């Protein structure tokens, strides 16, 4: 079975590509969804976060206070690293389990939708890296439109990520996230046909 890692910068079009791949019949595993599941109350990562960061990053109902934890790790690289060391292995374990389940069910291809695929080193889990590429002007425009960010806020989010140039160095396939929607989706269909045969 071939494991594809789908990634790209913020607002590049990853979710749009992943949704289309699902529509075409590809099993797509979403890292953001899994990252939320592994910190649900009672899960191992939830317990470890409580031991490491204390009750201050939890809400009164026991759920993780994502805003509080986000503010903490944004301001402190050591905390960020600690949090990643707790969450990433759990996310990887879920990926491995799901991959095995899909393999056993006879699937020949699985897509892992991982925004931080290259930054987290999770690319070691995949056979191919697909990068959705959109330039900064396009990202800024979409962030302004979709998330109502002003230009400066949009640029600082983009600057916090690995550059597109560095992502492209690691890409096995580049999906043109700047192309018109129909053209981009056609490219995705073409890739799906090639890979799933
Ligand atoms: P994020 O990193 O913030 O989760 P993303 O990479 O998943 O973003 P999408 O949410 O798929 O990106 O797309 C960002 C915005 O751009 C959305 O509003 C989407 O509808 C739009 N969009 C995506 N692809 C195209 C395209 N090829 N042409 C025009 N608009 C597009």
The binding site for ATP consists of 11-16
pLDDT over 80 (residue 197): no
Would you give the distance in Å from CA 116 to the centre of its chain? Answer: 5
Q: How many CB atoms lie within 10 A of CB 8?
A: 26
Percentage of residues in the chain having pLDDT higher than 70: 100
CA 77 to chain centre: 20
pLDDT digits (tens, 9 = 90+) for 106-130: 999 999 999 999 999 999 999 999 9
- 65 CB-contact burial (10 Å; exposed 0-12 / middle 13-18 / buried 19+): middle
- Residue located nearest, by CA, to atom 9 of ligand 1: 13
> pLDDT grade, residue 171 (50/70/90)?
very high
Q: Is 113 left (phi over 0), alpha (psi -120 to 50) or beta?
A: beta
Residue nearest to atom 26 of ligand 1 (CA): 181
Q: Which of 9, 10, 13 to mutate to test the pocket of ligand 1 (most atoms within 8 A of CB)?
A: 13
Looking at residue 93, its pLDDT comes to: 97
pLDDT tens per residue, range 51-83: 999 999 999 999 999 999 999 998 899 999 999
Q: Looking at domain 1-27+108-197, does it have CATH number 3.40.50.300?
A: yes
| Closest listed residue to residue 183, CA positions, set 14, 17, 6 | 17
Segments making up each domain of the chain, as ranges: 1-27+108-197, 43-106
User: What is the complex's ipTM, to 2 decimals?
Assistant: 0.98
3-state secondary structure of 161: coil
CA distances from 98 to 92, 120, 141 (A): 10, 19, 36
pLDDT at residue 196 greater than cutoff 90 = no
């Amino acid at each position: 079975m071939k494991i594809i890692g789908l990634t790209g910068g913020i607002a590049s079009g990853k979710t749009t590509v992943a949704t289309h791949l699902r529509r075409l019949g590809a099993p797509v595993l979403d890292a953001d969804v899994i990252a939320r599941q592994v910190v649900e109350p009672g899960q191992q990562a939830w317990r470890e976060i409580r031991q490491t960061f204390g009750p201050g990053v939890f809400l009164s109902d026991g759920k993780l206070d994502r805003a509080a934890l986000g503010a903490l790790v944004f301001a402190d690289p050591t905390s960020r690293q600690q949090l990643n060391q707790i969450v990433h292995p759990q996310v990887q374990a879920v990926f491995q389990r799901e991959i095995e389940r899909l393999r056993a069910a006879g699937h020949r291809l699985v897509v892992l939708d991982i925004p931080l695929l290259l930054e987290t080193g999770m690319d070691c889990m995949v056979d191919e890296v697909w990068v959705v590429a959109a330039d900064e002007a396009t990202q800024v425009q979409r962030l302004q439109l979709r998330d109502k960010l002003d230009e400066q806020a949009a640029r600082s989010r983009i600057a916090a990520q690995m550059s597109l140039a560095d992502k492209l160095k690691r890409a096995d396939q580049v999906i043109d996230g700047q192309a018109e929607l129909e053209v981009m989706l056609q490219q995705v269909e073409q890739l799906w046909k090639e890979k799933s045969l």
